[in-house]
Structure 1
Amino acid sequence: MGSSNMHCLTLVIFVCLSTFIPQTEGQCDLPANQRRDCFPWPALSQESCESRGCVYCPDTDGPWCFFDDTVCPSEIPESSRSDCFDEPGASPEACRARGCIWCETETEDIPFCFHDDSVSQGGEFCPDDVPENERVDCLPEIGGSMETCLARGCYWCESGTPNVPWCFMSPLHGYRVSGEVEDTVKGQRVHLRRVNNPSWFGEDVVQVDVDIEYQEDDRLRVKIYDPSEARYEVPLGIPSPDDKATSPLYEIQITESPSFALKIIRISSGETIFDLSHLIFSNQYLQFSAQLSTEKVFGFGETEHETFAHDMDWRTWAMWARDQPVTQGNLYSVHPFFTSIEPSNDMFGCLILNSNAMEVTLTPLPGIQYRTSGGILDLYFFFGPEPEAVISQYTEAVGRPVMTPYWNLGFHLSRYGYNTLDNMKEAVERMRLYDIPHDVQHGDLDYFERNLDFTYDPVRFAGFPDFLHTIRQDGTRFITLLDPFISTGEPSGSYPPYETGMTADVWVKEADGVTNAESMCWPEDSVHYPDYSKESTKQWWIDECVDFHSVLQYDALWIDMNEPASFVTGSVHSCLNNSYNAPIYRPESLLVENCAGEDDGWFCLADKTICLDYTMELGRRYDVHSLYGWSSSEPSLQAAREATGTRSYIITRSTYPGSGKWAGRWLGDNQSAWYSLKTSIIGMMEFNMFGIPFVGADICGYFTEASESLCNRWMQLGAFYTFSRNHNGDSAPQDPGLWPEVGRNSREVLLTRYTLLPYLYTLFHEAHTEGRTVIRPVMHEFINDVSTHAIDEQFLWGPALLISPVLYEFADTVTAYFPDERWYNYYDGNEEANRGEYGVISAPADTIPLHVRGGHVLPTQRPANSTMWSRSNPMGLIVALDDDEASSGSLFWDDGDSIDTFENGLYFLTRFDASLGVLKNEIVHNGYPEASSLSFADVNIWGLSGSPNVMVNGQPWFDFDHDPASQVLRIFNLDLQINELFEISW
C-alpha cells in the first residue's frame, strides 16, 4: 500500500520549513554523506530550495538542496512536545522514519523526537491541503519506493500514523469529461479522456465511457468501460429495463474537471452517499475511490473479521477465491457487495460486478478504495431505504435464493475422519443413545476409494448402501461429498467418470485451448478439472451423478474444493511466467511468499489453484477464476434433482453473487476456538446479505480438538444456524453424544429448533419469493436505533426470534441488547424487563437465551428426532402481543421435498392476525390438500392484560391456563385444521 510498515528500504524524511531559514555560514562544507536531501525531484532551483527553508549549495557532490539540521523546524514549545519515541534506541534516523521531528535540546526530560502535524513533509510534492484520511494510495502493489511514487506523478509524504499511504494521488490524476454528457434511453452517457499523467502499470485506456442507467426507482447502474475494445464482463444476467426509471430515489451529479467525479445523492435526504473519483482504467489495473457518508460499512466477502461493521482504519481485504483455511484473510468465496448506513439511517447497497483478482481498502475518510486486475468497473446501487429492502432489491438482481427441502433444516452430522463404516455407525448410535435429532448424515471423502469421486471403499465401508437404507428408515438422510476433479491414472476401463469425460471433452484447457489442464489434488494421480460452463460438461456431470445414485442412495450433494483447489501451484508443469499468471499489478492483500519456488517472494495468483492463462468456455481463468464455484452449482443442483427425483439441495464451498439461486454454504475449515464461535455469527449474517440464507459454520470447529465446554456452547449456537451441522477434520471425534452433558443439552436445544421449524421454513419461503434474509442482523429490524448498528453477538431469525448465545469461555450470563419493544422469554413467555437497553441474562450450561418479539405470531410444531416424524405432529402458535396487544404472522407449508411447489401452486399459505382480543387466520393460498391432516393443538398468547374469557369459533372454551403475573394465556386441546378458518377470542 505504500505505507510505512510496508517498505523494506530506508526512506528519507522531507521536512518543509514553515518559515524561511537563512543559510548558516559553512554549511556548504557539510560532507555529502551527511546531507539530508530536501528536494530530490527534477527542476531544482535555488529559489524553490530556499522557499522550503533548506540550504542550497550547488557543488558537484551530494544533494545540492538539503535540510539545515542546526535549526528546529517546529514551533511547538519544548514543554508541549508529545514523545514520538518513548522506547530505547531513539535516533534522528529512527525518529524521522516515523514521520516525526528530531530537535535536540539541553533541557532535561524533554523528548528529542516528537509529533508535529503542522510541519509539512516533502515540500512541493507533499501538499498541506490533503488530509491523511483523504489520501488515495499510489503504491497499491507489493513493494514500491519513493522513486516509483514520483515516477507515477504522485505525492510522497511520510506519516507516523500506521497504515496511512505515504505515496498518494494528485487530485489532477485520472480522467476528464470530453464533450457533452449525452442523454440516453436508460439515462446518460459520459465520455472521458485520460489526463496526460504518468502511467502506473502501462496500457492505459485513453478514452473511457460511463453509462449511467436509471434501471429502477431503487436501482442504479454505473458502467465504466472501454468503448473501443470489448473486455470481460461477468455474465450474471442482471435484467436491464428498456426505459429509465420515472421516480428514482437518487440523482447524479457529475464533476467534469479538473478530473472526473460522480456523486450519487439520495433525494429524500439530500445526502451524497457515494462520491466516485480517482479513476484509473488500464489493461490490467482498474481503480476508483469513493467517499461514503458514514463509516458504517458491512459486507465484502469472503473474509473472516472481528466485527460485523468493518474496521475503516485503512484495512484492506482481497476478493479472490482461495483454498485457504479460515483465518483473517480472504477465503473461498468472492462477494464484492456491501451495504452502508447513511446519516439519516437509510441504507444503500452496492455490487461491484467484477470477477478478477481485486481488493478494497476501507479508509477513515470514510470511504473505499477499490482496485481490480481486469474486466470493467460495473457498479449496481440498491437504495432500500430499509435494510431488508436493500437485500430484496439485490437478490432481485442477482437471483432469489433456492428453496430448501424441509428435512435440510434438521440437524446434520458429519466428519472427515470416520475412515471406516464402523466408526460412522458408532457416531450414529451415540446420537440414538441420547435421542438427539438427526436428519442428515454426511459422507466426506474418507469413505471414497482412494479419494476418487463417485466411489466408496468396498473394504473400509463394506455394506455402506445397506447402512444408508437402514438409517433412512429412522428418518436420517445422506449427503455425499464430491470434488470437482477426476483422477487421470486409473487403469483403462476401470473408472468411467474419467473415460466418459475424455469422450465428451469436458475439461478445463491449458492456454492453447486444446491440452487438458492437469494438476494434483486428493487422488494419488494427477487430475483434470471439469469445465462446468460447457454444455457437454453439464450433461456429463448429471449423468455421473445419476449413475452414482444407483450405487449409493444420497439425497443431496456437497461440493468441496471448487475454487478450484490444487495441491501444487498452477499445474504439474508449473505455470508460464506471463502477464496472466504473474500480472504487473500484484495486490499486497494476496501476498503469497515464495510462490512456485521463486526466491524473491514472487506473488502468484495460481497459489493453491490452476494456472490463470488456462481457458474455460466461460473465458480465460485470469478473468473467471472466482466464477468456478458459481459455474459448478447450477449443474450440480440439476444433477442432484435428476438423480433423486426430489427438490434436493447443494452445499458448496466457493460462491459468487447469484450462487444462492442454486446452493447453500458452509463457512469452511474453521478452528475449534471460542474466537471462531463468535465470528461464525458475522459470517452467517454476511452470507444472508449475499443472498445465501442457508449457511452455518462447522459446529465445534474443524481444526484441532474441541473442548467439552466449547462444543456444548457451539451446539447451542449451531442449533440456530440455518445450516446446522457438526463437522470436523481428521482429529478426535466431536459428535455431541461423546459427552453425556453435551448430549443431553444438544437434544434439548435441537428439540427447540425442531419446534420452531415451521417458522424457519416460512422464513425460507419469504427468502425464496421476496429475497429477504433469514439470519438477520438486529439492525435490519431496528435501523433507527443506533445502538443496534454494532451488534454482532446477537442475531435474529427473521423479524421475531432474538438469539443471544454464550460466546465466551466460563460465562454463565449474556449481556444482551433489547430494542425498545416488548420481548418475551421463549421458554416461559415472561416479558423481558429491559427495553431499549442492555440486560444481563442468565445462561447456565443447558440454556441459550431466546426471546420472541412482541407483535409477531410464530407457528410451531411438536418436535421429534427427525422431520420425517415431526411433520405429522400437531402444530401450535405463539402469539406475542405488542404494546397495542396486536400481533401478526404467517405459515407456509408444502410437501417439503417436491421441486418448485410455489411456482406450481402446490402449497398452502395462511396469515394470522391478532388485535382487540381476537386471533383470526386468513387462507392466502390453499393448493396443498394434505395440509388438512394437520391441526393447531395449542395457542400461547403472551403479554395479555386483564382476565380472559376464551371463545373458539364462537363457542366457550375451558381448556386454558392463565397466569396474571406473567400475563401468559395457554389454550390447549384444540383441533383446528390449519387450512380452515378459525377465530379465537379472549
Structure 2
Amino acid sequence: QNSLLISVAVNNYRDPNLLRFEELRILGVTREITSITVYQGDVVQQYPLKISYDATKKVVHITGLQLELGKSYTLKWQQHLSVNERFNCYPSPDATKEKCEQLGCAWEETSNPDIPSCYYSSATPYFLDNLHYSTGGVTADLTLDSARSRAGEGPTAPISTLRLEVKYHLKNMLQFKIYDSQHPRYEVPVPLNLPSSPVNLGQDRLYELGLQIKPFGIRIQRRGTGTVIWDSALPTFTFSDMFIQISTRLPSQYIYGFGEAEHPTFRHDLNWHTWGMFTRDQPPGYKLNSYGYQPFYMALEEDGNAHGVLLLNSNAMDVTFQPTPALTYRTTGGILDFYVFLGPTPEMVVQQYTELVGRPVMPPYWSLGFQLCRYGYANDSEISQLVDDMKAAGIPHDVQYSDIDYMERQVDFTLSTHFTGLPALINRIKGDGMRFIIILDPAISGNETNYPAFSRGLEKDVFIKRPNSNEILYSKVWSFLPNVQVNESLPHETQIELYAAHAAFPDFFRNSTAEWWKREILDVYNNPTNPERSLKFDGLWIDMNEPASFLNGAVDGCRNDLLNNPPYMPALGSRSEGLSYKSLCTEGQQYLPDGTPVRHYDVHNLYGWSQTKPTLEALQNATRERGIVVTRSTYPSSGRWAGHWLGDNTAAWDQLTKSVIGMMEFSLFGISYTGADICGFFQDSEYELCLRWMQLGAFYPYSRNHNTKGTR
C-alpha cells in the first residue's frame, strides 16, 4: 500500500542511449501525496522531485525522476488529507469529539474555526447496482451497504434503497434525480418545460456521464475540453427522511448565484462559507437568508466556458463552499433533482435555464419609468400634493404607489377613511399619463364582523389549517382589530400583542384560492356595490409573502416540534429559533391543485411563488392590460409572472453597491425586472448618497424610490 514497484521482468536489450523515465503519472490516488521516496534495492535515490495532485481526476504527476531503463525501483509515499479536502461530518454548531466519533468520523481541531474539526474519514456507504443504460439516460439502484452504514436513527437514519435516474434531455442539458424508490416522497410541484422524452443525441451531446459504482459517485465531463464540471465521488452522500447531503468538486473558483442573501461580492468566496436558504421577512444583511429561495448557480471554468446547476428542492437548505474547490448541499427533505446546463457561454446558460423554468415576464413600457413610493403617507391629499410637486419640479414621474396606508386598519381589500379621495386621485393622474400601483398582503384578518373577503374565503375553504382538522392556523401580521385605538408610542411587539387581529393565510396552491383571490382583486378594481370607491390600479405589489408573520408560528403555538425544529437546522439567520420564526408553523396543511396534501414544512419556500401567477392573472383580468406584478418572495420560475425588489434595505453606501450584485444575481435567476429601493428604505439618506443612488437607479430595470415612515 502507498507504494509502486517497477520491476524488470525480462532484460535482453542493451541500451546505448541511457534512456530514463523522467516523469510518471499514478492514477486512482484518492488523497494528496505529500512526499515520495525512491529506492533502488535498499538504496535511497536523491532526485529533485516535484509532485502535483489533481483531486478531480485523482491523478498524481511526478517529475524530476531519473529512472534508468532496465533497472528496478520502488516508489513509496506519504499521503495526507489536506484541510481543504475535509468535508464536514457534523455541520451543526454543537459539534464535539464524542458526537463526531459516534458518527464514525475523524476529529482534529484546527486554529481556523471555519475549517471543520469533524470530517469524513471513510467513503459513502452507498453503491450502485442494477444499472441499465439506454440512449436517453441511465437508471440504477442505489443501495446502502449496511455493514458500513453510519450512525443515524429516526428521521436521520439513512434510507436503504434509493433510485438514480439520469436523463439526457437535450444536447446541452441533463437531469439526474435521486429518490426513495419504495416510499413516495414530496417532490417540488413547479412545472418545467421539459421535452416529452429524452432526446437520442449520441455524439452531439456536450457532456459525458461517468458513474462510480462503489462507493457511489456521479461525474459529468464537458466533451469538448475534458473539464469535469460535476464530481460527487466524495464521502458526504447521505439520504434520510429529514437530512439529505451531497457534495461536488468544482472546476474553478468562479462560482455565482444562490439566494436570496446579501452577498458582498458577485463571485462567491470559496473559503469556507455557508449560505442558508429559507424564505423569511429579513432585510438584507450578511449571511442572513432573506425573502427568496434560489438554489441555482453558474460556474465559469478555467478556459472561460460556463455551465449552470439547478437543484429543484424547496426544503430548508444550506450550501457550503470550501477551497478544495467544492460545494456541499444539505437539505431537510424532499429529493435530489438536479439539472445541469452546459452553456457554453454565460448568456447561453441563462437562456437554457430560463428555457426550462420559463422566460421572464415582459413588463409594460410604462413600468420601465421612474416610480415613487413610501410607507407612511398620511392621506390621499399628501400623495396628490407629491404628484403636483414632482410635476412642478420637472422630475419625470411615471408611476405612483400607495403602501398599506390606504387600507382601513391595514386590512386587505378595504379603503381607509383617510384615503376616500384615492379613487379620484388615481383617475386624475392616469388622465395625465401616469400609472398607479397598490400593495396587497396575503394574510387576511379573521376578526371582522362584516368582511366579505374573509367570509368568502371560509366558504371556498382557502385558508391554511392544522393537519387533519378544520382549525385555521391563525397568526398575526399587519391588520389591527376593529374598534380599538392603537397606541403607536408602544413598541411594535406590544402593539401586535394588544391590537393585531388574527390573520389567516390563503393556500394559493388550491384552485379555489386562485378563483377567490381573483374575485377579491376584481372587486377592488370595479367595486360593484360602490363604483365611486373603485381603485383603477395598473399594477400590483405583493408583500409579506414568504409568508411573514409578526408571531413565531401561530397565536396558540406550534404543535409539531420535529417539523419546526428539525434534526438538522440549516445555517439560517434564525438557526436557534426554528423554522417557524417570524412565519407559520411548518405543520400547516396545504393542498396542491390535484388535491394532494402537502406540509407547509415542504412548501414554505413556494408560498410567494404560488401567489404570483394568480395575482398576475387577476390583474390582467381586471385591467384587460398587460400590467406588472412585483413580488417580494421568489422561487425558480417566479420571473414568468413578476418582477422583484431587493427588499427593505438601508440608506447606506454599501447598500448602493450591493444592489448591483443583487440585480445581477436575479438576472441569473431569470427575474430580469429587478431593482432596489433607491436612496434606501430604512434611515435618513444623505444628500450625496441619494443623488448618486438616483443616478444609479435610473439604470435599474425596476426603478423605484421607496422609504419607510419617519425617514427622509
The answer to whether the superposition gives a TM-score over 0.5 is yes
Give the deviation of 1:436 after TM superposition.
1.1
- Tell me the distance in 1 between the aligned counterparts of 2:294 and 2:367: 25
Q: Match of 1:612?
A: 586
Q: Match of 2:132?
A: 182
Tell me the SS of whatever aligns to 1:395.
helix
Give the deviation of 1:168 after TM superposition.
0.8
1:325 aligns with 2:283: yes
Runs (4 or more) in structure 1 with deviation over 4 Å come to none
Deviations 1:835-884 (A, max 9, x none): xxxxxxxxxxxxxxxxxxxxxxxxxxxxxxxxxxxxxxxxxxxxxxxxxx
Task: Please tell me whether the aligned partners of residues 316 and 589 of structure 1 are also in contact (alpha carbons under 8 angstroms).
Answer: no
Give the deviation of 1:443 after TM superposition.
0.8
Task: Please tell me whether the aligned partners of residues 555 and 648 of structure 1 are also in contact (alpha carbons under 8 angstroms).
Answer: yes
- Tell me the distance in 1 between the aligned counterparts of 2:613 and 2:191: 14
Alignment of 1:347-358 (within 5 A): 347-358=306-317
Q: Match of 2:508?
A: 532
Which of 557, 562, 578 aligns to 1:579? It is 562
Q: Match of 1:253?
A: 210
1:204 aligns with 2:204: no
Deviations 1:486-531 (A, max 9, x none): 101111xx21111111111111111224221111000121111111
Alignment of 1:733-772 (within 5 A): 733=712
Q: Match of 1:420?
A: 379
Q: Match of 2:332?
A: 373
1:194 aligns with 2:144: yes
Give the deviation of 1:153 after TM superposition.
0.6
Structural RMSD (CA): 1.4
Alignment of 1:510-589 (within 5 A): 510-524=466-480, 525-550=501-526, 551-589=534-572
Task: Please tell me whether the aligned partners of residues 95 and 118 of structure 2 are also in contact (alpha carbons under 8 angstroms).
Answer: no
- Tell me the distance in 1 between the aligned counterparts of 2:246 and 2:575: 25
Q: Match of 1:437?
A: 396
Which of 242, 258, 267 aligns to 2:197? It is 242
Alignment of 1:385-464 (within 5 A): 385-458=344-417, 460-464=418-422
Task: Please tell me whether the aligned partners of residues 186 and 213 of structure 1 are also in contact (alpha carbons under 8 angstroms).
Answer: yes
Task: Please tell me whether the aligned partners of residues 274 and 320 of structure 2 are also in contact (alpha carbons under 8 angstroms).
Answer: yes
1:151 aligns with 2:97: no
Deviations 1:406-460 (A, max 9, x none): 11111110000112222222322221122111111011001211001111212x2
Amino acid at match of 1:163: D
Which of 671, 674, 691 aligns to 2:653? It is 674
Q: Tell me: CA distance 1:406–1:447, structure 2 relative to 1, closer, same or farther (3 Å).
A: same
Alignment of 1:90-129 (within 5 A): 129=80
* Number of residue-to-residue matches in the alignment: 593
Task: Please tell me whether the aligned partners of residues 142 and 586 of structure 1 are also in contact (alpha carbons under 8 angstroms).
Answer: no
Give the deviation of 1:577 after TM superposition.
3.8
Q: Work out the percentage of aligned pairs sharing the same amino acid.
A: 43
- Tell me the distance in 1 between the aligned counterparts of 2:642 and 2:706: 19
Amino acid at match of 2:211: I
Tell me the SS of whatever aligns to 1:414.
strand
Which of 448, 452, 466 aligns to 1:496? It is 452
Alignment of 1:686-765 (within 5 A): 686-733=665-712
Task: Please tell me whether the aligned partners of residues 574 and 581 of structure 2 are also in contact (alpha carbons under 8 angstroms).
Answer: no
Q: Tell me: CA distance 1:423–1:377, structure 2 relative to 1, closer, same or farther (3 Å).
A: same
Tell me the SS of whatever aligns to 2:237.
strand
Give the deviation of 1:346 after TM superposition.
0.2
Task: Please tell me whether the aligned partners of residues 277 and 572 of structure 2 are also in contact (alpha carbons under 8 angstroms).
Answer: no
1:291 aligns with 2:249: yes
Q: Match of 2:491?
A: none
Tell me the SS of whatever aligns to 1:655.
coil
Deviations 1:807-833 (A, max 9, x none): xxxxxxxxxxxxxxxxxxxxxxxxxxx
Larger radius of gyration, structure 1 or 2?
1
Q: Tell me: CA distance 1:226–1:590, structure 2 relative to 1, closer, same or farther (3 Å).
A: farther
1:230 aligns with 2:187: no
Amino acid at match of 1:144: A
Give the deviation of 1:334 after TM superposition.
0.2
Task: Please tell me whether the aligned partners of residues 154 and 169 of structure 1 are also in contact (alpha carbons under 8 angstroms).
Answer: yes
Give the deviation of 1:605 after TM superposition.
0.3
Q: Match of 1:63?
A: none
Amino acid at match of 1:192: L
- Tell me the distance in 2 between the aligned counterparts of 1:331 and 1:166: 29
Amino acid at match of 1:482: L
Amino acid at match of 1:318: G
Deviations 1:592-650 (A, max 9, x none): 44x3xxxxxxxx10101001011111321111000000000010001000111111111
Amino acid at match of 2:239: F
- Tell me the distance in 2 between the aligned counterparts of 1:135 and 1:592: 24
1:346 aligns with 2:322: no
Give the deviation of 1:731 after TM superposition.
2.2
For structure 1, the 5+ residue unaligned runs are 1-126, 596-603, 734-986
- Tell me the distance in 1 between the aligned counterparts of 2:560 and 2:618: 38
Normalising by structure 2, report the TM-score.
0.82
Which of 632, 635, 644 aligns to 1:665? It is 644
Tell me the SS of whatever aligns to 1:181.
strand
- Tell me the distance in 2 between the aligned counterparts of 1:142 and 1:520: 31
Task: Please tell me whether the aligned partners of residues 513 and 615 of structure 1 are also in contact (alpha carbons under 8 angstroms).
Answer: no
Tell me the SS of whatever aligns to 1:198.
coil
- Tell me the distance in 2 between the aligned counterparts of 1:527 and 1:185: 53
- Tell me the distance in 2 between the aligned counterparts of 1:515 and 1:567: 20
Between 1:373-382 and 1:182-191, the stretch displaced more is 182-191
Which of 268, 283, 289 aligns to 1:310? It is 268
Q: Tell me: CA distance 1:558–1:177, structure 2 relative to 1, closer, same or farther (3 Å).
A: same
For structure 2, the 5+ residue unaligned runs are 1-77, 481-500, 527-533, 593-597
Task: Please tell me whether the aligned partners of residues 454 and 544 of structure 1 are also in contact (alpha carbons under 8 angstroms).
Answer: yes
Give the deviation of 1:394 after TM superposition.
0.2
Task: Please tell me whether the aligned partners of residues 382 and 390 of structure 1 are also in contact (alpha carbons under 8 angstroms).
Answer: yes
Tell me the SS of whatever aligns to 1:545.
helix
1:638 aligns with 2:617: yes
Tell me the SS of whatever aligns to 2:408.
coil
- Tell me the distance in 2 between the aligned counterparts of 1:450 and 1:717: 36
Normalising by structure 1, report the TM-score.
0.59
- Tell me the distance in 2 between the aligned counterparts of 1:285 and 1:482: 36
Amino acid at match of 1:520: K
Q: Match of 1:213?
A: 167
Task: Please tell me whether the aligned partners of residues 152 and 197 of structure 1 are also in contact (alpha carbons under 8 angstroms).
Answer: no
Tell me the SS of whatever aligns to 2:479.
coil
Q: Match of 2:11?
A: none
Give the deviation of 1:185 after TM superposition.
5.6
1:168 aligns with 2:127: no
Amino acid at match of 1:382: F
Q: Higher relative contact order at CA 8 Å, sep ≥6: structure 1 or structure 2?
A: 2
Tell me the SS of whatever aligns to 1:299.
strand
Task: Please tell me whether the aligned partners of residues 507 and 531 of structure 1 are also in contact (alpha carbons under 8 angstroms).
Answer: yes
